[in-house]
Structure 1
């Protein structure tokens, strides 16, 4: 996949998606799969905005039972199953433990009834794929006090009378998941480009007929023509609507909430994500790769979408909450390897701490504006389904007969794997000795069925299969592959999103320098450019004083 700006100007598209987060990525893939000609642009890298911040959990929505919304519960469960089917190498089952003992977590028998109802309502939706036994989620089960404490050693034993175990999904690599949706569309003839910002609307009379854009790498301006523009720009969406059409500017509520998840060295010895409560809110510590993710906090955000910054007081308050929820976890600021952060739509009229309860899809023909649809998403789990509704609106505007949506069952690029465990075992065993079994195992989990071509490149070149550093297993060849085949243009694109080198914490000076050298050779960076790239990357890991 190459960044081909000329292809964006060569024709009129049925659909232009503005925003390459998970919602825009799935809308782009859906439209392409239905037979529409589609293009996608993002002002930054693919998935570099709100979608980068995620607790990595694909959940069934058990919390919505508290509101009695059974329809929403089943929707969450369907979407969990869909993601486990279309990207089984990237989304795997994860067991959770919730303690019972009063307060927010309730009595253990009430919890048992609560989860039994959830099991019953989602029956038939708990298998990732019919041929993959490891993707089938067992029903919830009641835990004794001793077993709950054994599985969740971080909570206060004095507040525990028992607990419940249930299973949801976890993304090994969420960045690869929505990037795979973009890749899948491009492989079917769609066009995508990062670092291209929509700056205003092309008009056909009163209708929106495309956008004026700026190449943020060169400053060049050009136009992209499209019959419909889908605004999926996340926190930038309300402001973008104001530039595209006056009558659409108030359609999306602009209030934002800052969400954070902490990546820490794992304090967990087992495989379960564990829950604890503080200030009336539920927090989780989940094992993820070789680390753990703690989440999620929400704080008021007073600035615009470009003013997202970490505040030490917010991080300290988050850590205090975690220590209250998990007394056996003496978390300190020095334990934090990375803060995943992003902006989400806050509930209208609230205090800025409560999220909007539902994603929004708006067909702006209601505002007498043709050629524009807006999408503002809330939760990662339901992004695919919300994108489907958005593309339904696009299809209605385009006025064509197209195929029905198939994104819930069509594997993403690399995801056509009937049995993931067997696939990974075979990948590790098929090495010819040039690359270690663990390297092939990691490549299979990251790239799915697409790993073989990359593994062959690494096998043919000792220089390509060399790790970036003794403590960072990602190879020189993976960096080069990201630049040549995956539209990576910045050092952060490679280390934070295309590979696993830096998404779980700072990979270290040696690995950063090695990756920068490879990219400099591929992209003809000057020494000054290398220095800027390294400095920009370092800001991601820097915590405020």
Structure 2
């Protein structure tokens, strides 16, 4: 039998990583297990926004929107290298929501929470302006407002890194196969990547398994007590850049939904998302032809130069594990998070806290609220602390990324600018650990693929739980998007070689 932890967190998405970080920072002993890679499901398949959720106002989710609006600047200060302000342009469509309604919604958006760094909304003319240039000429008026962009998978990794730095144990490729409730603890059976078994004990369980949350409830022998889960698929497409400026567009559709067209990875635009009920295996989720057509038709209603299927260079889909509020419309199902705390019939058994729903934007508050919920159970009354704490790589002077980047250009003047800027965006102040003692590009080791050197790969293996090429190319970085098949194969080959070298050294 292994050691007893205060908290076993099942699930390495944003909610699980955020809770593990918060709990470890309160002095609790924490073990997080994830059956695949960190952020390998829903948390790497988002629209990559830190936003209040303008359209949620129509569903009267004022508490959720207010909390999300408050979190924008908290997270911006915590990780300015992977989160940055983004201006949204909302063209007025004469056949849809009237201007007064858009103004009213944006007024609420501006005033539901205080803003320090993000500007408020304003009206725009689209005639003869950069914002109007990619659009059809009938769109002459628009509104702009501010939210933030985030590298979603990296946000998960940074939370896991900070959790580990504060004492948590993070185990990827480790599946929790069963949970057994004892008098004063849970016993968990874990299966690791090599097939070996591990048994641990924990005083409490956090079930942050996302789309698999009800499966974990069943594993705990509590299937008859599971709350309602609503799986909703959200899909996105990536196309060549649709516009030259750095603003994002938010396009209304006649079904009441919206879609974003977001500048992405320099050369592309990210378009999404859909809302489709889903009942399949969350690990096998894929975009459908109908979803591709839906997104193309929606944005082509606005773009002067229409997109076709041939323009789609990549796509991805994720499954949102929402709380089932019985709403018949998948788009209107609440995005708020719901906790289901089970402490047994008499209320004194070891607790399991299951999490339904949630958004990347509110993950930190969700984690804080989860720990407040568990405080009476664990007897830990440590104060909330994450609101003013930076994430790894975010500890730059005054959170000023531009000044930080300028200093890096002087410090590492031997690095090609595109590579320097990418590494700075990925790793923030941890770029110095990535580069180590190198003083020339040659000292970064083999260039395994364009702009990807061995020094970075070794860093990702040693510090970010990267185990294979997919972990690097599609989650830790998005370099796979611009690579040719032979270049992707080269990264797979490099990992295979490292594995053989590791086996030979044993």
Q: Would you say the 8 A contact 2:185–2:350 is kept in 1?
A: yes
The alpha-carbon distance between structure 1 residues 268 and 11, as it changes in their structure 2 partners (threshold 3 A), is same
Q: C-alpha offsets along residues 355-405 of structure 1, whole Å, 9 cap, x if unaligned?
A: 334211121127655321111233211111112111222222112332x12
Per-residue CA distance 1:213-270 (angstroms, 9 max, x = gap): 111x211122121111100000000111011132x55433233111112122111111
Q: Which residue of 2 aligns with 1:112?
A: 103
Pick from 166, 179, 191: which aligns with 1:188?
A: 166
1:55 to 43, 47, 50: 47
In the alignment, the residues of structure 2 paired with residue 430 and residue 271 of structure 1 have an alpha-carbon distance, to the nearest angstrom, of: 27
1:371 and 2:351 matched: yes
What is the CA distance between 1:320 and its match in structure 2?
2.7
* Corresponding position: 1:12 with 2:7: no
Aligned with residue 179 of structure 2, among 197, 201, 205 = 201
Structure 1 length normalisation: TM-score?
0.85
Deviates more, 1:218-227 or 1:362-371: 362-371
Deviation at 1:329, TM superposition (A): 4.3
SS at match of 1:283: strand
Report what 2:215 is aligned to: 239
Kept in 1: contact 2:435–2:456 (CA 8 A): no
> What is the aligned partner in structure 2 of residue 6 from structure 1?
none
Shift of 1:307: 3.9
1:143 counterpart = 2:124: yes
Distance 1:62 1:496 in 2: 29
Over 3 Å counting, the alpha-carbon distance change for 1:259 and 1:366 in structure 2 is farther
Which of 417, 424, 428 is 2:409 aligned to? 428
Tell me which of 294, 297, 312 is aligned to 2:271: 294
Cα distance change on mapping 1:512 and 1:97 into 2, 3 Å: same
Q: Evaluate the alpha carbon distance shift between residue 507 and residue 463 of structure 1 in structure 2; reply closer, same or farther with a 3 A threshold.
A: farther
State whether residues 260 and 340 of structure 1, in contact with CA within 8 Å, keep that contact through their aligned partners in structure 2: yes
Residue from 439, 443, 458 that aligns with 1:459: 439
The structure-2 alpha-carbon separation of the partners of 1:243 and 1:424, relative to structure 1 and needing over 3 Å to count, comes to: same
Matched, 1:409 2:401: no
Work out the CA distance in 2 between the residues paired with 1:19 and 1:233.
Answer: 4
Q: 1:20 to 1:152 in 2, by over 3 A?
A: farther
Q: How big is the shift at 1:322?
A: 3.0
Residue 283 of structure 1, CA deviation = 1.1
- 8 Å contact kept, 2:240–2:311: yes
Pair 261,274 (structure 1): closer, same or farther in 2 beyond 3 Å = same
Query: 1:348-359 to 2 correspondence within 5 Å?
Result: 348-351=325-328, 353-354=330-331, 355-359=333-337
* Structure 1 residues 398-447: Cα deviation after superposition (integer angstroms, max 9, x where no partner): 12332x121121001111122111001111221252x3243223212211
Taking the aligned partners of 1:521 and 1:484, their CA distance within structure 2 comes to 16
Find the aligned partners of 1:163 and 1:460 in 2 and give their Cα distance: 48
The answer to whether structure 1 residue 220 and structure 2 residue 196 are counterparts is yes
| Shift in Å, 1:184 | 0.6
Question: Counterpart of 1:381?
Answer: 361
Cα separation, partners in 2 of 1:340 and 1:250, compared to 1, 3 Å: farther
| Gap change, CA 1:81 and 1:210, over 3 Å in 2 | farther
Q: CA RMSD in A?
A: 2.4
Residues 1:218 and 1:329: Cα distance change in structure 2 (over 3 Å):
farther
2:202 and 2:273 map into 1 onto residues whose CA distance is 38
Shift of 1:302: 2.4
State the match for 2:243 in structure 1: 268
Question: Paired residue for 2:469?
Answer: 491
Aligned partner of residue 89 in structure 2, secondary structure: strand
Q: d(CA) in 1 for partners of 2:93 and 2:308?
A: 27
Structure 1 residues without counterparts, runs of 5 or longer: 1-8, 128-135, 527-545
Output the TM-score relative to the length of structure 2. 0.91
Range with bigger deviation, 263-272 or 342-351: 342-351
Return the alpha-carbon distance in structure 2 between the equivalents of residues 224 and 337 of structure 1: 44
Contact 1:238 1:250 in 2 (8 A): no
**CA drift at 1:458:** 4.5
Residue in 2 that maps onto 1:535: none
- Per the alignment, residue 452 of structure 2 pairs with 474
- Aligned mate of 1:176, from 154, 159, 163: 154
Q: Runs of 4 or more off by more than 4 Å in structure 1? A: 366-369
Secondary structure of residue in 1 paired with 2:142: strand
Could you say what secondary structure the match of 2:269 adopts?
Answer: strand
Mapped partners of 1:525, 1:398: distance in 2: 44
> Equivalents in 2 of 1:210, 1:336: separation in Å?
47
After superposition, the C-alpha distances for 1:288-346 in whole angstroms (9 at most, x for unaligned) are: 2312111111112122334423333332333333323x342422222222222111135
Q: How many residues align?
A: 495
Residue 17 (structure 1) shift: 0.6
Is the aligned partner of 1:210 residue 2:187?
yes
Aligned position for 1:337: 313
Per the alignment, do residues 485 and 71 of structure 1 end up closer, same or farther by CA in structure 2, a change over 3 Å counting?
A: closer
Matches within 5 A, 1:312-323: 312-323=289-300
Q: Distance in 2 between matches of 1:492 and 1:445?
A: 19
Q: Does the aligned pair in 1 maintain the 2:130–2:245 contact within 8 Å?
A: no
What is the Cα deviation at residue 279 of structure 1? 3.4
Q: Secondary structure at the match of 1:258?
A: strand
